[in-house]
């Protein structure tokens, strides 16, 4: 057995699954558009370190990470901040993105994975209703299976034929347009909240993240519509008026990027094709964290591939990957996508009201990359009746929340009904019903 596996794009989950497969005797090559030195962004990320062990990646050296501190959430009027309280066992780590990549690539290379850098993937090659390879700037590459780890707007997924039934692009309000930069520190005055998350700041549909670190102040602006540098400057000025440490000089990062914030793909496998990570929209929809989920899913995909004794990697064989993904993770993430849709529908005044009346508390706002299910998000408490009364008093808010509640019920029921065995018509029917709820 030496089936040839192509990993399209050096996404986190793609490298992790490549590593497991290569260690088990598969011939695996990762094709990546960046150079080795340019892998990963010039900033830090926060993720659940327990996910590394799931993908058989060793813990990084202690000098390479620190535990993340609690974040404080602000509604638009900033009157009633809510500070999360993450339990010690669930603490995430903060690590340089480039060090995360060093760890993943070093492990994969030790296991025998080949990397081809500076190689831009243009599209999938399809023959006889099957993905058989990729067209790249370096020519064509053929394989027995193509694992798509090219991220949110993957050129491989986008070029798949319509009849595969795999969605091509995230819809409106399903993708975050982000600008992120580390600015110089304007002064060393202590700040009350080191990690500040502003929801619908200035009433804009989006978020702002201002983290006051020792060496710099980290600013992230996220919106559901694209925006330009003039808007970045204007918004940075707004945050500067609230956080004096935010300087004017960009010292690191300074890039526009995109994050999927939606339910995972309703169909993520086809003959000769499987998507993982952002290319299958596997982030936690409310916060856009996707590193841990990509790693958690890697062993599920590797197992489905290794269990396929016929080595044909048909949609039917790969279905076990999608099935296990939904049972382990996807079914929990999907209702969170419905909660995110609520955030795009409420007014800034309603969000202020939700904060002021304690409808959301520190328990709900203790959202981490470990928040992979609606049950992690909702916390039964003695004051629930009081919170319910506050919701009922705002009829419009009540209507919106009831709609989301009904959708969550439908999503949960549908995820339970996901076909265990692959049947083309049944699976297509399931995917159509699932997609319809989020429309
Ligand atoms: C500003 C920002 C902050 C974030 N912060 C966090 C965080 O703190 N914690 C967290 O868990 N997640 C965070 N995320 C999300 C996280 O980056 C992703 O969810 C995670 O990386 C999983 O995505 P991925 O690795 O599958 O895809 P990506 O990270 O998009 O990687 C895709 C890879 O494919 C390559 N590629 C793309 N197109 C081509 C092509 N045409 N040819 C060849 N190669 C190609 C890319 O160069 C890249 O290496 C953040 C994202 C952004 C943008």
Per-residue pLDDT 10s for the chain (439 aa) are 568 999 999 999 999 999 999 999 999 999 999 999 999 999 999 999 999 999 999 999 999 999 988 889 999 999 999 998 888 888 899 999 999 999 999 999 999 999 999 999 999 999 999 999 999 999 999 999 999 999 999 999 999 999 999 999 999 899 999 999 999 999 888 888 889 999 999 988 899 999 999 999 999 999 999 999 999 999 999 999 989 899 999 999 999 999 999 999 999 999 999 999 999 999 998 888 999 999 999 999 999 999 999 999 999 999 999 999 999 999 999 998 998 888 889 999 999 999 999 888 877 777 666 666 666 666 666 677 777 788 888 898 889 989 988 999 999 999 999 999 999 999 999 999 999 999 8
Structure tokens at 121: 């993937």
Q: Which H or E element spans position 184?
A: strand 175-185
Please list, in sequence order, all residues whose beta carbon lies within 8 angstroms of the beta carbon of residue 74, skipping any fewer than 6 positions away: 81, 196, 197, 198, 199, 201
Length of the chain as a residue count: 439
User: Does residue 148 have its Cβ closer than 6 Å to ligand 1?
Assistant: no
Torsion of CA 407, 281, 418, 411, to 10 degrees: -10
Q: Ligand 1 centre and the CA of 179: distance in Å? A: 14
> CA dist 349 to 29, 79, 83, 385, 427, Å?
51, 12, 20, 22, 42
Separation between Cα atoms, residue 346 and residue 340, nearest integer Å: 10
User: Does residue 291 have its Cβ closer than 6 Å to ligand 1?
Assistant: yes
> CA dist 280 to 104, 131, 430, Å?
20, 16, 17
Question: Using H for helix, E for strand and C for coil, what is the string for 289-348?
Answer: CCHHHHHHHHHHHHHHHHHCCCCCCCHHHHHHHHHHHHHHHHHHHHHHHHHHHHHCCCCH
Q: Tell whether the torsion through CA atoms of 212, 216, 217 and 219 is positive or negative.
A: negative
Nearest CA to ligand 1 atom 10: 289
4 secondary structure, DSSP code? E
Helices and strands in the chain, H and E counts: 13, 19
Structure tokens at 218: 């980290």
124 secondary structure, DSSP code? E
Residue 212 near residue 191, CB atoms below 8 Å: yes
Q: What is the bridge-based pairing of β-strands 145-148 and 139-142?
A: unpaired
Separation between Cα atoms, residue 63 and residue 269, nearest integer Å: 39
User: Does residue 275 have its Cβ closer than 6 Å to ligand 1?
Assistant: no
**Tokens 């429309």 found at:** 439
CATH number for the domain running over 4-65+94-170+265-327: 3.50.50.60
The preferred substitution site among 6, 7, 9 for testing ligand 1, maximizing ligand atoms within 8 Å of CB, is 9
Which atom of ligand 1 lies nearest, measured to the CA of 39?
49
Q: Which of these, 326, 313, 342, 341, lies nearest to 430 by C-alpha position?
A: 326
Which atom of ligand 1 lies nearest, measured to the CA of 220?
1
Nearest CA to ligand 1 atom 25: 11
The predicted structure's pLDDT at residue 366: 75
Separation between Cα atoms, residue 308 and residue 320, nearest integer Å: 10
């Amino acid at each position: 057995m030496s089936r040839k596996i192509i990993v399209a794009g050096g996404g986190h989950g793609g490298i992790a699954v490549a590593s497991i497969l290569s260690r088990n005797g598969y011939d695996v090559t990762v094709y990546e558009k960046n150079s080795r030195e340019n892998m990963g962004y010039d900033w830090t990320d926060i993720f659940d370190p327990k996910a590394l062990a799931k993908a058989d990646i060793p813990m990084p050296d202690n000098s390479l990470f620190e535990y993340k501190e609690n974040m404080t959430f602000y509604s638009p009027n900033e009157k009633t901040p809510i500070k999360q309280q993450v339990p010690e066992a669930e603490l995430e780590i903060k690590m340089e993105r480039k060090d995360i990549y060093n760890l993943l690539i070093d492990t994969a290379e030790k296991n025998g994975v080949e990397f081809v850098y500076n190689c831009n993937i243009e599209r999938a090659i399809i023959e006889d209703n099957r993905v058989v390879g990729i067209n790249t700037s370096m020519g064509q590459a053929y394989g027995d299976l193509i694992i798509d780890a090219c991220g949110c707007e993957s050129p491989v997924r986008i070029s798949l034929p319509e009849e595969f039934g795999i969605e091509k692009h995230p819809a409106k309000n399903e993708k975050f347009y982000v600008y992120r930069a580390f600015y110089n520190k304007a002064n060393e005055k202590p700040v009350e909240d080191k990690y500040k998350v502003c929801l619908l700041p200035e009433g804009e549909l989006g978020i702002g993240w201002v983290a006051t670190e020792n060496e710099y102040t980290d600013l992230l602006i996220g919106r559901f519509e694209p925006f330009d540098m003039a808007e970045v400057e204007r918004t940075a000025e707004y945050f500067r008026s609230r956080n004096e440490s935010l300087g004017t000089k960009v010292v690191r990062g300074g890039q526009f990027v995109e994050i999927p914030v939606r339910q995972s793909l309703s169909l993520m496998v086809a003959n000769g094709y499987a998507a993982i990570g952002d290319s299958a929209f596997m982030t936690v929809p409310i916060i856009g964290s996707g590193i841990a989920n990509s790693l958690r899913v890697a062993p599920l995909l590797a197992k489905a591939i290794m269990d396929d004794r016929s080595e044909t990697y048909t949609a039917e064989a790969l279905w076990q990957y999608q099935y296990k993904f939904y049972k382990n993770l996807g079914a929990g993430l999907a209702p969170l996508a419905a909660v995110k849709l609520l955030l795009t529908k409420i007014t800034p005044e309603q969000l202020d009201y939700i904060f002021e009346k304690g409808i959301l508390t520190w328990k709900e706002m203790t959202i981490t990359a470990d928040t992979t299910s609606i049950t992690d998000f909702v916390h039964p408490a003695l004051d629930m009746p009081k919170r319910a009364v506050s919701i009922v008093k705002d009829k419009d808010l009540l209507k919106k929340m009831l709609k989301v509640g009904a959708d969550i019920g439908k999503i949960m029921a549908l995820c339970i009904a996901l076909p265990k065995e692959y049947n083309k018509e049944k699976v297509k029917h399931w995917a159509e019903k699932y997609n319809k709820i989020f429309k």
